[in-house]
Chains A and B, each alone.
Chain A
Amino acid sequence: MADLSNDLAGIRSPNPFWLASAPPTNSGYQVMRAFAAGWGGAVWKTLALEPIVNVTSRFGGYDIGTYRMAGMNNIELITDRPLEDNLREIAECKAAYPDRAIVVSLMTECTRESWHELIRRCQTVPVDGFELNFGCPHGMSERGQGAAVGQDPELIEMVTRWAKEASSVPVIVKLTPNVTDIRYAARAAAKGGADAISMINTINSVIGVDLDTWLPIPHVDGLSSHGGYCGPAVKPIALNMVASCARDAAVRIPISGIGGVSTWRDAVEFLLMGATNVQVCTSVMHHGFGIVTDMIEGLTNYLDARGLGSASELIGKTVPRIVDWNDLNLDYKIVARIDPDTCIRCNKCYIACEDAAHQCIDRPEDPRLAPVVDEEHCVGCNLCKMVCPVENCIDMVRVDAGNTAHTWRERLSVPS
């Protein structure tokens, strides 16, 4: 059976599934339940020297069809419980589950003294690492904290350095996606001495507007504020950001992947894209801590089926496959082929190609017959396969000879 044990910059855990710093890690009661369920680690909900005050309501869900919470956003802030209460519970959890990773998320005002003081107090209990919350996009950013730090590489580097000065355990810097190019933030963290980065924190968002009242969702007594967007719908954004940092020569520190991880499959993708482990929040908020059982079992079965001895063998395997567009092979050509035997005649492929692609799927006059691809004009865009409700009914088949490769970069540099 494959080994799932995990080591992120020296922070060890029995599996790569951590709970992200968020509502599910708000208390010792919850973290105890999570560890009992099997979670490998937990990043405690962000601590500060003084508790803040939260509002109601706090969350908004983005539903697509019958799928609830494809995305969600929140305007809840960091912990609203006293620091001493949190530290006592951290010690209890660590005592009960010494093999699990407890990382403490931190946020405080942007002074060296304040960061040193917070870390000093947190180190009075056994913690495995700190995660600097430079990511929360709402509320605290208006007080010069959270994403306000994460959006300024100089501040990231400076605060990371302060934290490293005081910390005796590894320091992870949590990055905000609310920047133009997240690599600058990641490089600054590395330069400041961070042992690892975690990404992505939540994305600036307004989840929706109530059509009856015209009030934003969620609202607090009729008013709202932008919140942090997360959940399955943000995964593609997170995957790109993880990969862009994983392949950046100036970053070169481990990555804890966050953003829409709901199943073991998502975790495999993050690992392949360069993450060392993953952190989960929204899926737990949707289904409870029990999902980790299926994540552990699914990942193990996947690794075993592929003959891999450990989950760490997945890390970064797809990263070299992410390149600049200029390095893509212009000679590569695939076309769609529709299997008439499994086709159910919904004609989704036809209308998608006709109205939104390249008008190269034809419908026979007899509606009982399957649509047919005009392979000569098909550009291999994948759209038909994407809209087809039947798995494997539409195949993308390679039709170029496969023996030439010709990129845009070459075309620019080598005149024909």
Chain B
Amino acid sequence: MAFPSASLGPPIAKRLSPLEVRIEANRCLQCHDAPCIRACPTGIDVPRFIGRIASGDLLGSARAIMDANPVGASCARVCPTSQLCEGACVYNADQTPIRIGDLQRYATDWAIDENVVLFAPGPPSGMRVAVVGGGPAGLAAARELARLGHAVTIFERDEVAGGLDTYGIVPFRLPAEIALWEVEQVRALGVEIRTGVAIGETLPAAALLADYQAVVLACGMGSVPRLGIPGEDAAGIWDALEFIRRAKMGGDVGRLGETVAIIGGGNTAIDAATCSKRLGVPSVTMYYRRGASRMTAYDFEIEFAQLEGVEFRTRTLPTRFIVEHGRVSGLELVDTAEDDSARPLPGSERIVPVDTVVLAIGQTRHTALLDAFGVVHQHGVAAVDAGLRTSNPRVWAAGDCMFSPGGVDAMVVEAAQRGKDAAYAIDAALRGEDR
């Protein structure tokens, strides 16, 4: 599909050369009950996919990866591998873990280049399942449900599916084409993907509950919340997700000016910062209200941002936007306490000039949508049982909409596993009801 997206400069991940692949794939020890498998939230059989690369079976390799992880091509670019598979590699004893992420990217790139269809739908069960949201969790759920023979429809509010992988991660880390290939793999199983449909807005939740035997809520999260300080409605102040989405999709972000301030300390804040640099902004500074050790961005992301020229100011809290002619022109900042409580220190106020501000301080929750499905939730986080079933017995939840705020599990790979888990739970429930 032709889809407008910008690359914003060279990709972060270099494609391995055939020689690098041969050396690295053959270096894998082929551990038994390998720790890398246990460290992968989706349980990718890493030695198997690497062994298949070494033997020249790239189709088999890609299938082994994507079998366990329906968004395995995206994960090969966004996973914090040093904390997951590569962090568990037995070669860490000698500080030389196998470059699992790079090899996974090599195998999935092959599948993308060859445009192969990796899986087939299961024998029809006669049952229908609706998936609300076409991001990593929704795609994973839909794919597994389709492989189990169920008729699946994904309802996606955006123009195309893929969720954050498509829209929310900078293109030089994850090009939209990669996420869209994963979407096409799911579509190839006969999954219907209805885009531009916002459940609860353009189609009522009740319609899904009426037409489908089960519903997977994989709606993710919403926009960036407001800071709640004076001047916030001025022009030149962006929601980070909207900013990245606009830049990634080749849209117009207008005049950014010479100085951009990013508010936040997570991976989205990093993405907004590096994106700004690649859009040509000379001075990009990230302001974070607590100490550096409390930033939720991965270390490798922070290092990358530093290499791109992003500056960091920690224990710094914005208190007011200075507005001139309706547009932000400055930022009032205050230092915060050493104890990382984010408590402002009186008397440290100062004003820095800024041309643009990007807010990346978290995301709101789709509370109304959960209410519409009659799902019990805590501040917008769906409550689920061990099988990911919500308080509505015909509704399961997976991904960001059921992850607790601030948890370490808010990764693409975790969302994918929850999607799979929801699919298996639904399959068991539906087939149980049949008996």
Tell me the complex Cα distance, A54–B194, Å. 68
Question: Is A347 at the interface (CB under 8 A from chain B)?
Answer: yes
Question: Is A345 at the interface (CB under 8 A from chain B)?
Answer: yes
Contact B31 A347 (CB under 8 A): yes
Neighbouring B residues of A124 by C-beta, 8 Å: none
Chain B, interface residues (CB within 8 Å), range: 10 to 19
Q: A367-B35, A367-B38 are in contact. Are A345 and B26 (CB under 8 A)?
A: no
Contact B54 A344 (CB under 8 A): no
Question: Is A162 at the interface (CB under 8 A from chain B)?
Answer: no
Q: Which of A66, A348, A363 contacts B31 (CB 8 A)?
A: A348
Tell me the complex Cα distance, A349–B275, Å. 48
Contact B33 A347 (CB under 8 A): yes
Nearest-neighbour CB distance to chain B for A354, whole angstroms, equals 8
Contact A351 B32 (CB under 8 A): yes
Contact B90 A346 (CB under 8 A): yes
With both beta carbons as reference points, the residue of chain B lying nearest to A65 in the complex is identified as B26
Nearest-neighbour CB distance to chain B for A209, whole angstroms, equals 14
Question: Is B278 at the interface (CB under 8 A from chain A)?
Answer: no
Q: Which of B29, B33, B38 contacts A389 (CB 8 A)?
A: B29
Tell me the complex Cα distance, A65–B23, Å. 8
Question: Is B93 at the interface (CB under 8 A from chain A)?
Answer: yes
Neighbouring A residues of B31 by C-beta, 8 Å: 345-348
Contact B23 A66 (CB under 8 A): yes
Question: Is B304 at the interface (CB under 8 A from chain A)?
Answer: no
Nearest-neighbour CB distance to chain A for B59, whole angstroms, equals 14
Q: A350-B32, A351-B32 are in contact. Are A344 and B90 (CB under 8 A)?
A: yes
Neighbouring B residues of A347 by C-beta, 8 Å: 31-34
Tell me the complex Cα distance, A389–B31, Å. 10
Question: Is B313 at the interface (CB under 8 A from chain A)?
Answer: no
Contact A348 B32 (CB under 8 A): yes
Question: Is B22 at the interface (CB under 8 A from chain A)?
Answer: yes
Query: What is the interface of chain A mostly: helix, strand, loop, or mixed?
Result: loop
Q: A65-B54, A66-B23 are in contact. Are A345 and B35 (CB under 8 A)?
A: yes
With both beta carbons as reference points, the residue of chain B lying nearest to A387 in the complex is identified as B29
Query: What is the interface of chain B mostly: helix, strand, loop, or mixed?
Result: helix
Tell me the complex Cα distance, A348–B27, Å. 14
Contact A66 B93 (CB under 8 A): no
Q: Which of B23, B26, B30, B33 contacts A367 (CB 8 A)?
A: B33
Nearest-neighbour CB distance to chain B for A165, whole angstroms, equals 54
Neighbouring A residues of B93 by C-beta, 8 Å: 344
Contact B35 A66 (CB under 8 A): no
Nearest-neighbour CB distance to chain B for A337, whole angstroms, equals 19
Tell me the complex Cα distance, A367–B31, Å. 12
Contact A66 B26 (CB under 8 A): yes
Contact A348 B26 (CB under 8 A): no
Which residue of A345, A346, A367 has the most chain B CB atoms within 10 A of its CB atom? A346
Interface code A326-357, partner B: CB below 8 Å = 1, 0 otherwise? 00000000000000000011111011000000
Tell me the complex Cα distance, A363–B54, Å. 28
Tell me the complex Cα distance, A376–B33, Å. 25
Neighbouring B residues of A389 by C-beta, 8 Å: 29
Nearest-neighbour CB distance to chain B for A376, whole angstroms, equals 23
Neighbouring B residues of A345 by C-beta, 8 Å: 31, 35, 90
Q: Which of A66, A351, A367 contacts B22 (CB 8 A)?
A: A66
Neighbouring B residues of A66 by C-beta, 8 Å: 22-23, 26-27
Neighbouring A residues of B22 by C-beta, 8 Å: 66
Neighbouring B residues of A344 by C-beta, 8 Å: 90-91, 93
Tell me the complex Cα distance, A65–B34, Å. 20
Tell me the complex Cα distance, A66–B19, Å. 9
With both beta carbons as reference points, the residue of chain B lying nearest to A344 in the complex is identified as B90
Nearest-neighbour CB distance to chain B for A219, whole angstroms, equals 20
Residues of chain A whose beta carbon lies under 8 Å from any beta carbon of chain B: 65-66, 344-348, 350-351, 363, 367, 389
Question: Can you list 16 A-B pairs with a CB-CB distance of less than 8 A?
Answer: A66-B22, A66-B23, A66-B27, A344-B90, A345-B31, A345-B35, A345-B90, A346-B29, A346-B31, A346-B34, A347-B32, A347-B34, A348-B29, A348-B31, A351-B32, A367-B33
